[in-house]
Amino acid sequence: MKKKIAIIGSTGSIGTQTIDIVREHIEHFEVVGLAAGTNLEILEAQIREVKPRIVSVANIQLAKELKERIKDIQQPIEIVYGIDGLNAVATIDEADVVVTAVVGIMGLLPTINAIKKGKKIALANKETLVAAGSLVMNLAKQYQAEIIPVDSEHSAIFQCLQGESVKSVESIILTASGGSFRGKKKEELKGVTVTQALNHPNWSMGAKITIDSATLMNKGLEVIEAHWLFGIPYDKIKVVVHPESIIHSMVEFEDTSIIAQLGLPNMRIPIQYALAYPKRIINRQPKLDLTKISKLNFENPDIETFQCLQIAYEAGRIGGTAPVVMNAANEVAVQLFLQERIEFLEIEHIIKEMLSRHSVIQHPSLEQIIDVDDWTRKQILTGGE
């Protein structure tokens, strides 16, 4: 029987690759729900291909336009919009798996609502666990909702831990490509352009994640996410720069064994693993040929130049609403950089400034998390007025 899938963030990088996997494995998967933002061109093409039951867009105007665009389709398709639309797609009864691939804190509420429906979550939204890790994981346990990570690093850890006890883990080793500016020093980063920052050497990702990779904040978010996904203390989560991006992460056990997951830098592998889990199915992507790899390199991250990684460790250890502020400040700062309104190096300064202004709330409720997120964004965008 086919697994039925709802995709939150269907027109982004993870969403479009999920559709590609469904296309290649139509015997295994069926898409029943799509949620997108404003990209009606891609969304319309997806609707015509997969014929979902329900579709969500950003606002009522786009909903009306989409309805007009697809009026020739005979099959009835419910069109919804806004946060209510995202929640409707995430909780559609037919869905067995909900792929949460929308970027940013926007993914939190639909993910929580899908968890409350007992759905299996293919989680590609880092910010959900960064901002509300304790809350989300407790709800997943309460509602017996399985969370399968889609990030290549967390998928690697998840695979390495199959059949193993977390109690025997000595450390988790997250690998980082180093991003667009690996090897650069602070002076060399002054005045870098958006185009330069988006020029990732290995991965094809969305703009926000690519900038996060360049600042090493992406790895910082992954450290916090790994803490919640696997119940591992921060002192046992390490980061190493691995420029080839062949080893996607590793687990070191107390007997000194290290188990790693290897593969070409291709997000379709972890996406497909999450969709098919606990089974494995054929992947028709290019295979890794070990004989063509001359060497694999590893180095410590440069936390003096790229301070966002250290900021994330500190925010994670403080806990409570500190990661909420860090995440929200980073989202806004990255957007300002992409709009060429601030310099690259200002991203980390904005995050530090907002953390210094905030009084941390321990054990926050969902409402407090949302309020703190909103406060942080408004502080930055209004200059604290």
Which pLDDT score is estimated for 134? 95
The two beta strands, 169-176 and 237-241, are parallel
How big is the chain, counted in residues? Answer: 385
Residue 120 among known ligand-binding residues? no
Residue 263 among known ligand-binding residues? no
Residue 359 among known ligand-binding residues? no
For residue 200, pLDDT beyond 80? no
Question: pLDDT tens digit string along 10-24?
Answer: 999 899 999 999 999
Q: In this structure, which CATH number among 1.10.1740.10, 1.10.1040.10, 1.20.1440.80, 1.20.120.160 belongs to the domain 319-385?
A: 1.10.1740.10
Residue 171 among known ligand-binding residues? no
Question: pLDDT tens digit string along 103-134?
Answer: 878 899 999 999 999 999 999 988 899 999 99
Residue 118 among known ligand-binding residues? no
Residue 125 among known ligand-binding residues? yes
**What burial letters (b/e) apply to 130-158, b meaning 16+ CB within 10 Å?**
bbbbebbbebbeeeebebbbbbbbbbbbb
Asked if the domains 3-149 and 319-385 are classified in one and the same CATH topology, the answer is no
Which pLDDT score is estimated for 385? 55
Residue 206 among known ligand-binding residues? yes
Residue 10 among known ligand-binding residues? no
Residue 320 among known ligand-binding residues? no
Residue 27 among known ligand-binding residues? no
Q: Which two tokens stand for residue 131?
A: 């901002």
The two beta strands, 258-262 and 247-253, are antiparallel
Residue 177 among known ligand-binding residues? yes
Residue 64 among known ligand-binding residues? no
Distances 219 to 47, 151, 177 between C-alpha atoms, Å: 34, 11, 10
- What mean pLDDT comes out for the span 230-245? 96
Distances 31 to 21, 258, 272, 307 between C-alpha atoms, Å: 11, 37, 14, 41
Q: Given pLDDT bands bounded at 50, 70 and 90, which one contains residue 353?
A: very high
3-149 folds as: Rossmann fold (3.40.50)
- What mean pLDDT comes out for the span 88-100? 97
- What mean pLDDT comes out for the span 78-90? 96
For residue 202, pLDDT beyond 70? no
Residue 363 among known ligand-binding residues? no
Q: Is 173:263 a contact under the CB 8 Å cutoff?
A: no
Residue 13 among known ligand-binding residues? yes
Residue 39 among known ligand-binding residues? yes
Domain boundaries, the chain: 3-149, 154-308, 319-385
Closest CA to 22 of 5, 40, 42: 5
